[in-house]
Amino acid sequence: MTSKELSNGILRTIGILCLIVVGFYLAYKLSALLIYILISLVLTLLTNPVVQFLKRKLKFKNTLAVITTLFLVLLLISGFILLFVPLLITQGQNLSLLDIKTLENNYNELIQTISHFLETNGFHLEDVATSDIFSALNLNFLSDFFNSLLNFISNLGIGLASVLFVTFFLLKEKDSFFNAFKAVLPDEQKSKVLTSIDKINQLLSRYFGGLLLQLFIILILNLIVFLIFGVENAFIIALLCAILNIIPYLGPLLAMIVASSLVMLSGIGQDFINDVLPTTLYVIIGMTIVQLIDNNINQPIIFSKSTKSHPLEIFLVILASGSLFGVLGMIVAVPTYTALKVIAKEFLPNNRLIKALTKNI
């Protein structure tokens, strides 16, 4: 190898590395836009069968079928939002009745009860948990939480409008986009790209179908737990917990926090020691059992069989995506990674790492 060829190779490598760095930087800066596009692609994948049904069975024109489908999506989203309105109103009323002095007395009573129980069994509870905790604890975090939740929902308006706008044109011009996409593909790579798209479509369809089944099972199991222990607004809270489970790993913890907070808020005015606290603990235990069922039965079926990936592999991908792009990155990590694996297998079939990662695809 001559010095000129060596220098050209080094420069080419440096150029590729620079392009990769710039690509990651742009992906980081445009993460919101990329996530909107990914969500639009997923929504297109899920709603395209509805569009085809309206066109074939009901003889709708293409544009009318797309508009009708997106209108149904909006109705579904509006229905979900309206389901939570009574819950927000009820909890807002409960917050207005919150008596800090009574809560402090309940706390002291709880500490005394635990201390008495331990002392009768030969243990001594150090006087480290006193009512002074309330001097440093700002219980307004409960109302702040719900205010933040409302602000988050309102901020979703821009994202929702963007996603629906992109989805409309993806559905309406799907054939045109696909034909234009095929036209610009190099002839030698066209078959690989089309095969990748077909495999990605199959795997993601199975994944999202399995994910919906998983959320439905979680909804039913949590609903049973809430009904057993007489939780108010049981269905709405169970639905909220199921939706939160869309966020891998972090979602179940958030669901338990939200559910236990709502149970305690619903019990304002009742006996905290004998009624509210035991019910909250029972609900947390029940949700923990539901999560164990989900972790050991539902998720292995969805992640391992649907995406053909090892659970540890999925965990690392979600963790990395969450570190780079936050909660939304965690949500789209699995489908994005699955698509990248399919593409890598088609274009780099002889790479040892790619072979190891895609041996089940």
pLDDT per residue as tens digits for the range 176-202: 887 887 887 777 778 888 888 888 888
Question: Based on the number of CB atoms within 10 Å of its own CB, is 7 exposed (0-12), middle (13-18) or buried (19 or more)?
Answer: exposed
Question: Based on the number of CB atoms within 10 Å of its own CB, is 58 exposed (0-12), middle (13-18) or buried (19 or more)?
Answer: exposed
Residue 95 binned pLDDT confidence (cut-offs 50, 70, 90): low
pLDDT at 68: 93
Task: Please check whether residue 236 is in contact with residue 87, taking contact to mean a CB–CB distance below 8 angstroms.
Answer: yes
pLDDT exceeding 70 applies to what percent of the chain?
75
More confident: 282 or 49: 282
More confident: 99 or 121: 121
Q: pLDDT tens digits, residue range 120-140?
A: 766 655 544 444 444 444 445
282, two tokens: 């029972």
Question: Helices H, strands E: what count in the chain?
Answer: 15, 0
pLDDT at 189: 77
User: How far, in Å, CA of 40 to CA of 333, rounded?
Assistant: 15
Average pLDDT for 268-294 = 83
- Sorted by sequence, the CB contacts under 8 Å of residue 295 that are 6+ apart come out as none
Residue 15 predicted with pLDDT over 60: yes
Cβ neighbour number for residue 21 with a 10 Å cutoff: 10
Residue 226 binned pLDDT confidence (cut-offs 50, 70, 90): very high
- Residue-range domain boundaries for the chain: 189-361
pLDDT at 287: 92
Residue 2 predicted with pLDDT over 50: yes
pLDDT at 135: 47
Residue 285 binned pLDDT confidence (cut-offs 50, 70, 90): very high
pLDDT at 204: 79
Q: Quote the pTM value.
A: 0.64
pLDDT at 289: 92
pLDDT at 129: 45
pLDDT at 1: 58
pLDDT at 137: 46
Supply the mean pLDDT for the chain: 77
Instruction: Look up residue 11 and give its amino acid.
Output: L
pLDDT at 143: 54
273, two tokens: 């020691």
220-227's contacts with Cβ under 8 Å and 24+ in sequence apart are 221/290, 221/293, 222/255, 222/259, 222/286, 222/287, 222/290, 225/283, 225/286, 225/287, 225/289, 225/290, 226/259, 226/283
Task: Please check whether residue 281 is in contact with residue 272, taking contact to mean a CB–CB distance below 8 angstroms.
Answer: no
48, two tokens: 């395209």
pLDDT at 224: 93
Distances (CA, A) of 120 to 113, 123, 124, 278: 11, 7, 9, 21
Residue 66 sits at the vertex; the CA angle it makes with 70 and 59, to the nearest 5 degrees, is 130
230, two tokens: 């007489």
- Residue written as tokens 């629906």? 164
Residue 284 binned pLDDT confidence (cut-offs 50, 70, 90): very high
User: How far, in Å, CA of 67 to CA of 65, rounded?
Assistant: 6
Instruction: Look up residue 48 and give its amino acid.
Output: N
User: How far, in Å, CA of 138 to CA of 245, rounded?
Assistant: 28
Q: pLDDT tens digits, residue range 302-334?
A: 666 777 777 778 888 888 888 887 777 788 788
pLDDT at 127: 46
Cβ neighbour number for residue 224 with a 10 Å cutoff: 13
